Structure 1
Amino acid sequence: MKESKTYRIRGDIVNGVIEKTVKYISEEGEIVEEAEIVNAMIRVGLEKAENKDIREYLELRESREIK
């Protein structure tokens, strides 16, 4: 298994990561890399996401409601 991999992330999600990073730093007083925020979000999401969530996302992309 690879230790790391690069993924392309949509712009609106990148903006959300930046906002969460700033919020974490301001509330916790600890510097954290954006990649760590992404890893935390993925870790939580992987535990909770179900096939229906993936299907819903794909349908939204197909209908161009999200790009």
Structure 2
Amino acid sequence: MSMMDKIKSMLKGHESQTEKGVDKAGDMVDDKTQGKYKGQVDTGQDRLRDEFGGGKGPDQPPQP
């Protein structure tokens, strides 16, 4: 079992906490870099949400 599989199994059923963690980590990076890499951070956050199940599903409306 790979490390990613282990992380996914630990986070399964905790999508809302995963979403909060991804947002908090991205905000921290934006804060530390003074927003210099905001586009890259946002892309990373989207990919993490997709990977770990905290992303926007087909039944969820897009957030502003």
TM-score by length of 2: 0.34
Highest Rg: 1 or 2? Answer: 1
Q: Greater relative contact order: 1 or 2 (C-alpha under 8 angstroms, separation 6 or more)?
A: 2
TM-score by length of 1: 0.33
